[in-house]
Amino acid sequence: MEKIPQSVREPLHRVDSRLKVTGAARYSAEYPLPGLVYAALVTSTIAKGSIKSIDSKAAGNAPGVLAVISHKNTIRPPGYPADNEHPTEPSTRGQPLRVFYSNQIYFNGQPIAIVVADTFERATYAASLVKIEYSKDEHRTDFHANTGKAVLPESAKKNPRSALADYDRGAIDGYKHAAVKLEAEYEHPAEMHNPMELQAITVHWEAHNKLTLYDKVQGTQPTQQNFAREWKLPVENVKVIAPFVGGAFGNGLHNWPHETAAIIAAKMVKRPVKLMLTREQMFFMVGYRPRTWQKVGIGASVDGRIVGISHSSIGQTSSYEQFTESTLQQSRMMYTSPNVSTRYKILPLDVSTPIWMRGPGEATGAFALESAMDELAYLLKMDPLAFRLLNYTDADPEKKLPWSTKFLKECFEMGSKAIGWDKRKLEPGTLSDGHWKIGYGMGVGTFGANRGGAKVRAKLFANGSLVLQSAVTDIGPGTGTAMTQVAVDHTGISPNSITFQLGNSEFPQAGNQGGSSTVNSVGSAVIAACMALKKNLLALADKNIPEFKGLTLEQVIFEKDGIRLKDKDVGMSLSELMKKSGTADLDVIEEAKPGEERKSYSMYSYSVHFAEVHVHSITGMVKVKKVVTCADAGVILNKKTAGNQMIGGVTGGIGMALQEDAVMDHRFGRYITKDFADYHVPVHADVPDIEVFFADKPDYIVDPMGTKGIGEIAIIGVAPAITNAIFNATGKRIRKLPVTPDKLI
């Protein structure tokens, strides 16, 4: 039996909630530096071509304007490579678009000038006065008209073992020989990143070679390294500060042109510069979930055993950068199919580069796979849950390795019970309530239980308070809270005496907050740092408390802010111990890294989502009535913050299934959905009661806490759960997202 250590305890409240609700939390556009000036971007209104002329006279003469900077008069970051025509060597990681580098236009909405003024309003007004003449080239933005031009990504060409390369297990397209089979195409549009906090940066050149950025990013050190490289500065001369991030779902994993534009501006005007994108600009230049076309061929024997799955996918990218994501992973490992073929391609268009969006790739792929599973179950006249159970994998069929842990069956059980799956009818369109047709659907999700190396500093002060530091950011999940919990568990210090400081590139090493890996990575380093502290404390006890002489860590207990003997009621508070030993403070930095276990096990988190929807038979309106979401994410450190993650993911999935749709007018190659009036995301009225369940079983192979990662699996599989429920309600199979009412009447 697995032990279930955490499930009963009370979760910590968010450690930063007071700062957030009182407005004391400072975001990247909220640093009132002396001499601060404001910037606004001028962006292109054509999708491809070049700038013939820029008339910045009126803008330059407008009140309060300090500079109008474009390719005509800009300084060049010294790290920019010389050749701009075929950008193969990105100046920052994954950002080959060089700002104001030439007169070339690569996409509609590209930053082509930046105006700096003494107020935000004056900068914005002056930016509107810049007149541009273009020489237009014919652009290619229409995905459907160009699917024939899709290509294998360079990385897959170079490495045939890459997860993006063609994959075959068993016979190629083996599904074709199955007794019951189907082929279907699925598609979703581009989905735009729209976190609450707009992308913003405040730039301060503290000296000619010393740069401080208050930047909305998901990683302080990756950003530090990128801009150190771009400006040819020693890494330690670039400081990136991001202690609070107002939501980020992947677009802060990349650095974008507006950041470089603001750094150039600050350097040129010799003042700190603040640049915040407008909501409209968020739709054009900071990434999005790429429009993707997919085709699934799937077949099974008459008794429901899967014979083959073939899954191909084409995702859009830009003309200057190859964005790829892991769309087909779930099809390779989720079900016991002897024959699996996957084919991944990208389609370069004259658009800005896409980027990861929560459950990147996997959420896209799961929509196709989990829809196809539902379709095949219907053809087999099988319950879709029974069909999935029959084809459940107890080991990884792709890597041929055991799972570290997998408790998806337990999730199936909890979730199906809570949604009332037994009410579901096999035959669609059977249940109704007046004009409302009622249906139930499910969708499964998975995401790698990732972990990277990280370091944490732990400083125990003489008064017994503990400060922990990591460069990691918190984009919303409550990293400080979870890390405080880990420190409580491993030092016995009470949560009120612990402060977890983050979001500063000068703190010990951490990667991006992304890929559902922060708790696994940084939490492991917190444990390592706590362990080092405990060793130091035991050494102090050894010298200063006679009963502790010669003891090992196994013979003592750290609890209630103190240390005591395991078998006797002898102990001392940590502050007393420090005082007695004359120690001012203890200060350690420790590192934790994943090890060899990654070669012997396959590690994934899992989720299953069950949805009940009501579809109006006349208007086609869809109401998601209830969602039950269940996760196998290892041990749950904090039910409240983890539950928030699941609810947020389901909310995103509702948007993906029913609302989000970035519409482009191909005459101009420009998105015409550019605010929340046109581009819909779920509001409270769209979001039903969401019930969250966790398997809450530890996976000590992934990391010493037994956690596996939650952020992505919260959304992966939600959209198909909803569209499958719509099919069950109406008998209508909509394979093109979003499922708007017009598609149902």
Annotated catalytic residues are: 712
Interface region with ligand MOS, contact rule CB under 6 A, candidates 350-358, 565-573, 575-583, 686-694: 350-358
Residue corresponding to tokens 């100046």: 91
CA nearest neighbour of 429 among 420, 440, 419? 440
Long-range contacts of 489-493 (CB under 8 A, 24+ apart): 490/526, 490/527, 490/530, 490/531, 490/534, 490/558, 491/466, 491/530, 491/533, 491/534, 491/558, 492/557, 492/558, 492/559, 492/560, 492/561, 492/562, 492/563, 493/464, 493/465, 493/466, 493/558, 493/561, 493/574
CB of 94 to ligand MOS, least distance (A): 14
If the CB atoms of residues 195 and 669 are measured against ligand MOS, the closer one turns out to be 195
CA nearest neighbour of 274 among 24, 31, 110, 68? 31
If the CB atoms of residues 326 and 331 are measured against ligand MOS, the closer one turns out to be 326
* Cβ–Cβ under 8 Å, residues 295 and 184: yes
CA 592 to chain CA mean position, Å: 22
If the CB atoms of residues 112 and 710 are measured against ligand MOS, the closer one turns out to be 710
If the CB atoms of residues 249 and 367 are measured against ligand MOS, the closer one turns out to be 249
* Cβ–Cβ under 8 Å, residues 428 and 439: yes
Task: Please tell me the distance from the alpha carbon of residue 669 to that of residue 678, in angstroms, as a whole number.
Answer: 17
x/- contact string, 6-25, with ligand MOS (CB under 6 A)? --------------------
* Cβ–Cβ under 8 Å, residues 281 and 312: no
For 240-297, give the DSSP string. EE-S--S--SSGGGS--HHHHHHHHHHHHHTS-EEEE--HHHHHHHS-EEPPEEEEEE
x/- contact string, 185-224, with ligand MOS (CB under 6 A)? ---------------------------------x------
If the CB atoms of residues 253 and 314 are measured against ligand MOS, the closer one turns out to be 253
If the CB atoms of residues 502 and 556 are measured against ligand MOS, the closer one turns out to be 502
x/- contact string, 220-249, with ligand MOS (CB under 6 A)? -----------------------------x
CB of 654 to ligand MOS, least distance (A): 18
CA nearest neighbour of 184 among 734, 657, 741? 734
If the CB atoms of residues 357 and 690 are measured against ligand MOS, the closer one turns out to be 357
Which of positions 245-284 make contact with ligand MOS (CB under 6 A)?
249-250, 253
CB of 605 to ligand MOS, least distance (A): 13
Helix (H/G/I), strand (E/B), else coil: 181: strand
Give the CA-trace dihedral at 197, 200, 204, 205, to 10 degrees. Answer: 150
Interface region with ligand MOS, contact rule CB under 6 A, candidates 116-124, 155-163, 351-359, 382-390: 351-359
Task: Please tell me the distance from the alpha carbon of residue 113 to that of residue 636, in angstroms, as a whole number.
Answer: 48
CA nearest neighbour of 182 among 388, 379, 426, 442? 379
* The total number of residues written for the chain in this structure: 745
Number of residues that bind ligand MOS (CB under 6 A): 10
* Cβ–Cβ under 8 Å, residues 243 and 503: yes
DSSP 3-state helix, strand, coil percentages of the chain (rounded to 5)? 30, 30, 45
Q: Does 514 bind ligand MOS (CB under 6 A)?
A: yes
* Cβ–Cβ under 8 Å, residues 694 and 636: yes
CB of 85 to ligand MOS, least distance (A): 31
Site for ligand MOS (CB under 6 A): which residue of 358, 451, 670, 697? 358
If the CB atoms of residues 282 and 300 are measured against ligand MOS, the closer one turns out to be 282
Task: Please tell me the distance from the alpha carbon of residue 283 to that of residue 550, in angstroms, as a whole number.
Answer: 64
Helix (H/G/I), strand (E/B), else coil: 714: coil
Site for ligand MOS (CB under 6 A): which residue of 175, 356, 421, 610? 356
If the CB atoms of residues 345 and 358 are measured against ligand MOS, the closer one turns out to be 358
CB of 254 to ligand MOS, least distance (A): 10
CB atoms within 10 A of CB 32: 9
CB of 707 to ligand MOS, least distance (A): 16
Give the CA-trace dihedral at 642, 646, 652, 657, to 10 degrees. Answer: 170
Interface region with ligand MOS, contact rule CB under 6 A, candidates 150-158, 294-302, 354-362, 632-640: 354-362
If the CB atoms of residues 389 and 647 are measured against ligand MOS, the closer one turns out to be 647
If the CB atoms of residues 180 and 253 are measured against ligand MOS, the closer one turns out to be 253
Task: Please tell me the distance from the alpha carbon of residue 130 to that of residue 60, in angstroms, as a whole number.
Answer: 9
CB of 129 to ligand MOS, least distance (A): 37
CB of 711 to ligand MOS, least distance (A): 6
CB of 404 to ligand MOS, least distance (A): 20
Q: Which conformational region is residue 343 in: left (phi greater than 0), alpha (psi within -120 to 50 degrees), or beta?
A: beta
Task: Please tell me the distance from the alpha carbon of residue 526 to that of residue 507, in angstroms, as a whole number.
Answer: 13
Task: Please tell me the distance from the alpha carbon of residue 624 to that of residue 679, in angstroms, as a whole number.
Answer: 19
CB of 665 to ligand MOS, least distance (A): 28
Interface region with ligand MOS, contact rule CB under 6 A, candidates 101-109, 264-272, 356-364, 532-540: 356-364
* Cβ–Cβ under 8 Å, residues 588 and 455: no
CB of 321 to ligand MOS, least distance (A): 17
CB of 363 to ligand MOS, least distance (A): 9
If the CB atoms of residues 527 and 716 are measured against ligand MOS, the closer one turns out to be 716
Helices (H), 420-567: 479-491, 518-544
Measured CA distances, 126 to 53, 60, 66 (Å): 17, 7, 10
Task: Please tell me the distance from the alpha carbon of residue 44 to that of residue 57, in angstroms, as a whole number.
Answer: 18
Token pair for 642: 């983890």
Interface region with ligand MOS, contact rule CB under 6 A, candidates 107-115, 355-363, 401-409, 583-591: 355-363
- What amino acid occupies position 563? I
If the CB atoms of residues 515 and 706 are measured against ligand MOS, the closer one turns out to be 515
CB of 514 to ligand MOS, least distance (A): 3
Q: Which residues bind ligand MOS (CB under 6 A)?
A: 218, 249-250, 253, 356-358, 360, 514-515
